[in-house]
Amino acid sequence: MRRESGQFIYRQLYSQLKEDILAFKYESHEKLPSKRDMSQHLNISVNSVKAAYEQLLAEGYIYTEERKGYFIEPLEKLIIDPNAQISLNVQEQQIEDAYDYSFSHMSTDISAFPVEVWTKLVKRVFENYDHELSSIPQIKGPIELRQSIAKLVSYQRGIQCHPEQIVIGSGTNILLTKLIQLLPDEIKIAVENPGYSRFRTLIRQTTAQLKPIALDHKGISIEAIKQAQPDATIVTPSHQFPMGIIMPVSRRIDLLNWASQTQSYIIEDDYDSEFKYETDNIPSLFSFDKNERVIYLGTFSKTLMPGLRMSYMILPINLVKQFDHYNLNMIPDFSTIHALTLNLMTKEGYYEKYVKKMHQIYGKKRETLITHLSNTFTNNIRIKDTRAGLHFIVEVNTPFSYQEIESRAKEMKLELYTLNRFSVKALEKNSSYKTLIIGFSKIKQEQIPQAVQRLKEVIWE
């Protein structure tokens, strides 16, 4: 044994014996030297030999017989298929290192997040919620958080619901999966086109049929929905994703009437309703529903941060018992510590205070960005639907195709997404104007002039 190797002596002996056993240098049932003989032979302590033998025994390489010693366990030769030996050459690249500037619609600005408040609240959770932290959580989430969310959506979104209707989850994708499990197999689910691509991917992985529905100037086309006859429709009425359209009340009523007449469900994805500019909050579609046809998806990813992984779903009363029965023995996927901390943050007013602060920060970024885009591109840009959310769309005059814009942006280290990402089919180069999704949450205020200049280099030669 090499004492200078930096490895415990018993681990060296264990590794060598295991290697020899797997190489069949020992016969099945062959007796190993006694601990004392092995220690004398190798000039190491009996305790080191004992530790090595005990580890081999625990892993099943050897067995012991009382008063007789240790013996080699019979083993079959491990079959190794040469065709199965595949090397993994994929290298993940950190977004932070890949881009100089970001127009991402997915990120948030956490520079003003109240870290000290959050840390203080986490400490209180550990002090006061011993039972909740040491037990398997409720599948729907802590009742305290669900009560706080019920109050929050009541005055912010006009939603009247019971905490039992609320389900906490680690993201809207997870909650949508749970919802689809409640619905019949092979149902037709309509989605907005263009729309949230991750929902499309998720639906394709289930037995449900995907039905893309085009938009018009009021949002998702009601006529196209009637033609497709889906069993459920996912919409983003408060701020259509990604086009930014705010669905007017006339289209909301048409949508609700269709759902009631056909006994279909509307899944309302209210992903960034907290941020409205130049207008008050628009009441949710759920708040208009009188016939138990709307399912509401809300998230804290936009108001706080995506890394928190905390979203919620509000079920119509007619699906609550079905959800409870289906998930009777399931374990939830969210962090109980985060859920209880978020409850304290909401209950004690820290959450609302932070959202108001971020509303001002995002509003200032939005105004600065619109000004610089307008001044830089003058008559070659159309800026649309800027009144809500953390992104807006622009149409820019450019000689490049969508694929070329995406490639050039990546080469120039600008995080940028085009309408192509959100469309069911790849968009053709049939117009000199291309639609870009401009997010402003992640970019720093002082970076905006340079980022707009970089965008100009991307779309013009």
Give the mean pLDDT of 430-453.
93
- Distance (Å, whole) CA 297 – CA 313: 5
Residue 242's pLDDT band (cuts 50, 70, 90): very high
- Distance (Å, whole) CA 173 – CA 203: 10
pLDDT confidence of residue 87: 73
Residue 273's pLDDT band (cuts 50, 70, 90): confident
Percent of the chain at pLDDT exceeding 70: 95
Give the mean pLDDT of 418-434.
82
Give the mean pLDDT of 193-221.
95
Evaluate if residue 245 carries a pLDDT over 60: yes
pLDDT confidence of residue 8: 87
pLDDT confidence of residue 42: 93
Burial of 455 (0-12, 13-18, 19+ CB in 10 A): buried
13-55 confidence digits (pLDDT tens): 999 999 999 999 999 999 999 999 999 999 999 999 999 999 9
User: Is it true that the peptide bond before 194 is cis, omega within 30 degrees of 0?
Assistant: yes
pTM beyond 0.75, yes or no: yes
**Kind and range of the H or E element at 272?**
none
Residue 5's pLDDT band (cuts 50, 70, 90): low
Q: 170: closest CA among 323, 311, 354?
A: 311
pLDDT confidence of residue 277: 86
pLDDT confidence of residue 91: 64
Evaluate if residue 90 carries a pLDDT over 70: no
User: Residue 359 CB: number of other CB atoms within 10 A?
Assistant: 15
Residue 431's pLDDT band (cuts 50, 70, 90): confident
Region of residue 158 (phi > 0: left; psi between -120 and 50: alpha; otherwise: beta) = left
What the block records as the tokens of 35 is: 């601990």
pLDDT confidence of residue 400: 94
Query: Of 84 and 216, which is predicted with more confidence?
Result: 216
Evaluate if residue 138 carries a pLDDT over 70: yes
- Helices first, then strands: H and E counts in the chain: 17, 16
Average per-residue pLDDT in the chain?
92
Q: Is the dihedral of CA 268, 274, 276, 279 positive or negative?
A: positive
284-331 confidence digits (pLDDT tens): 999 999 999 999 999 999 999 999 999 999 999 999 999 999 999 999
Angle at 420 between CA 415 and CA 425, to 5 degrees: 155
What the block records as the tokens of 119 is: 């840390």
Q: 28: closest CA among 93, 77, 67, 78?
A: 77
- What string of DSSP letters covers 157-169? H-----GGGEEEE
Residue 77's pLDDT band (cuts 50, 70, 90): confident
E-state strands within 124-231: 166-169, 188-193, 209-216, 219-220
